[in-house]
């Protein structure tokens, strides 16, 4: 069903924020003028990035940021969600600040404010400085103090101008795709390391919140990737609970003050002894936040291996990313995006409602939602009708959830630009604007026009 743009625009509350999102490593380029990150180390190993792409030039955003901010103005968005590159600000992760690196974000934030666009800053979107990885990265006890130091540098400089802060982006991926599995940096492939990384990311979040509060930063939150697990048969239910526990409850329970989910702790005792956990950390992790970011793309549909002949091969469809889960098959139903992800807006409603039960009283933002599609060029124009349908369907679902009682305050499209899709390199494109990898020319896709029209037609305050 194609949802009409006028109807969507009419349903948008005047104070609902519409934005677009990016992350530093995926767009900035110019890695030679900053410290090294774990993603350069990971990309240097042949086979880790599908098309062999590396950090440079990405979208050359460091040199083209003004043009990119003009694209945001053209879209008419309220907010822009970007991340700061930790090694651009602190090349070694701690110690000496690189003033030129920090200055880039200073100009970016002012550039947004000049265009009347709210800056939404994510402190960590996966590009850990290599020098910190050599100490153990997210498995090192000292990492949370380094993260607090880095947060302080940003808070001192930007607390007066940033509208919303996210401490971390998708810590599940950092921990379980990078440490438990090996499909993302640093590519450890050790299940026990995954759980320890998850815990240390939560502690780092807590220390970062404390620093942001000291500096009177406004609207402090965190962006989690959350979803709904659908067991197609009774035999897959135990696996669905375990996967839900690792992707959703392992983060929501401690943030909401319930501590770690006991079923997950018990079921993983043969993987880790959890000796790194202590009560005082858990109390800090439960400190109130002002909003929760939900990055939602697709439901995860699974079945017992007996009942299914095939298993999904899309991104995130590997059991290694859910340690301790009994064997199951991933059985996404079409339509699928190019990532192999099922398109199902109704699962966004389920995810929002379940999350509201698990974390009541906190406003939500959809901090990422979007899809990779083939992007055919028709008469010189990029006719990404699949992506328009994806956005219209998910915005409709988001507004339905809000109309049915979920305290949802905004929606960010992923992504402003085609960019480096991590281990997929340039092979998967999520942008509202096509980016020509050779010339760096930006071209509005039909989906960019969709957002421009939506923003133009919505009721104004």
User: Which residues are at the interface with ligand IFM (CB under 6 A)?
Assistant: 23, 26, 170, 295, 368, 414, 421, 430
At CA 295, angle to CA 458 and CA 337, rounded to 5?
Answer: 90
CB nearer to ligand IFM: pick between 23 and 139:
23
CB nearer to ligand IFM: pick between 131 and 170:
170
Please tell me the number of Cα atoms within 13 Å of 193 on its side-chain side. Answer: 20
Say how far apart CA 418 and CA 87 lie, in whole Å: 23
CB nearer to ligand IFM: pick between 26 and 272:
26
CA dihedral 360, 362, 363, 364 (to 10 degrees): -70
CB nearer to ligand IFM: pick between 23 and 208:
23
Provide the pairing of β-strand 229-231 with 300-303: parallel
Min CB(97)–ligand IFM separation in Å: 25
CB nearer to ligand IFM: pick between 170 and 396:
170
Burial class (CB in 10 A: 0-12, 13-18, 19+), 181: buried
Min CB(404)–ligand IFM separation in Å: 26
Q: Compute the radius of gyration of the chain from its Cα atoms.
A: 21
Say how far apart CA 201 and CA 195 lie, in whole Å: 10
| CB atoms inside a 10 Å sphere around CB 128 | 24
Catalytic residue among 28, 40, 118, 170: 170
Residue linked to tokens 């909003």: 291
Closest CA to 119 of 107, 129, 128, 127: 107
Say how far apart CA 27 and CA 84 lie, in whole Å: 11
CB nearer to ligand IFM: pick between 394 and 458:
394
As given in the structure block, the two tokens for residue 25 are 């490593």
Min CB(437)–ligand IFM separation in Å: 16
- Based on the residue annotation, tell me whether 368 is a catalytic residue of this protein: yes
Q: What are phi and psi of 94, to 5 degrees?
A: -145, 175
CB nearer to ligand IFM: pick between 71 and 174:
174
Min CB(20)–ligand IFM separation in Å: 13
Min CB(126)–ligand IFM separation in Å: 7
Say how far apart CA 407 and CA 361 lie, in whole Å: 8
Min CB(228)–ligand IFM separation in Å: 17
CB nearer to ligand IFM: pick between 326 and 335:
335
Min CB(367)–ligand IFM separation in Å: 9
| Residue 82, strand partner residues | 121
CB nearer to ligand IFM: pick between 26 and 241:
26
Residue by residue, DSSP assigns 272-284 as ---TT--HHHHHH
Residue by residue, DSSP assigns 133-166 as HTTTGGGSTTHHHHHHHHHHHHHHHHTTT-SEEE
Say how far apart CA 385 and CA 374 lie, in whole Å: 10
Catalytic residue among 28, 196, 368, 421: 368
Min CB(348)–ligand IFM separation in Å: 14
The 3-state DSSP class for residue 19 equals strand
Residue by residue, DSSP assigns 363-392 as -EEEEE--------EETTEE--HHHHHHHH
Min CB(421)–ligand IFM separation in Å: 5
Burial class (CB in 10 A: 0-12, 13-18, 19+), 336: middle
| Residues annotated as catalytic (active site), given as ranges | 170, 368
């Amino acid at each position: 069903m194609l949802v009409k743009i006028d109807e969507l625009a009419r349903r948008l509350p005047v104070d609902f924020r519409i934005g677009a999102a990016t992350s530093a490593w995926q767009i900035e380029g110019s890695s030679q003028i900053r410290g090294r990150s774990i993603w350069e180390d990971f990309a240097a190993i042949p086979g880790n990035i599908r098309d062999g792409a590396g950090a440079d030039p990405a979208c050359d955003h460091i040199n083209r940021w003004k043009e990119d901010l003009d694209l945001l103005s053209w879209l008419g968005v309220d907010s822009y969600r970007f991340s700061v590159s930790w090694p651009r600000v602190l090349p070694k992760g701690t110690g000496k600040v690189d003033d030129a690196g920090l200055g880039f974000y200073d100009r970016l934030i002012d550039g947004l404010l000049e265009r009347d666009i709210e800056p939404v800053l994510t402190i960590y979107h996966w590009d850990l400085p290599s020098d910190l990885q050599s100490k153990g990265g997210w498995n090192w006890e000292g990492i949370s103090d380094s993260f607090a130091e880095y947060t302080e540098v940003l808070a001192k400089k930007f607390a007066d101008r940033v509208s919303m802060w996210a401490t971390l982006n998708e810590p599940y991926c950092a921990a379980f795709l990078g440490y438990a599995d090996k499909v993302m940096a640093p590519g450890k492939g050790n299940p026990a390391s995954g759980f320890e990384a998850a815990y240390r990311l939560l502690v780092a979040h807590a220390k970062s919140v404390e620093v942001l509060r000291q500096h009177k930063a406004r609207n402090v939150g965190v962006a989690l990737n959350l979803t709904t697990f659908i067991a197609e048969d009774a035999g897959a239910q135990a696996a669905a609970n375990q996967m839900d526990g690792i992707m959703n409850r392992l983060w929501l329970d401690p943030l909401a003050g319930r501590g770690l989910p006991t079923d997950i702790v018990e079921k993983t005792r043969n993987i880790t002894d959890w000796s790194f956990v202590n009560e005082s950390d858990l109390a800090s992790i439960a400190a109130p936040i002002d909003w929760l970011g939900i990055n939602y793309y697709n439901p995860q549909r699974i079945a017992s291996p007996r009942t299914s002949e095939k298993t999904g091969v899309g991104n995130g469809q590997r059991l290694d990313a859910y340690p301790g889960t009994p064997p199951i098959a991933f059985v996404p139903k079409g339509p699928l995006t190019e990532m192999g992800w099922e398109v199902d807006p109704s699962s966004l409603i389920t995810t929002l409602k379940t999350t509201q039960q698990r974390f009541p009283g906190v406003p939500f933002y959809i901090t990422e939602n979007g899809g990779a599609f083939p992007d055919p060029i028709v008469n010189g124009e990029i006719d990404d009708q699949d992506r328009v349908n994806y956005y219209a369907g998910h915005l409709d679902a988001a507004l339905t959830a809000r109309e049915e009682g979920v305290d949802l305050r905004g929606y960010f499209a992923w992504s402003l630009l085609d960019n480096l899709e991590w281990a997929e390199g340039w092979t998967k494109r999520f942008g509202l604007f096509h980016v020509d990898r050779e010339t760096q020319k930006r071209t509005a896709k039909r989906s960019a026009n969709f957002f421009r029209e939506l923003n133009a037609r919505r009721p104004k305050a």
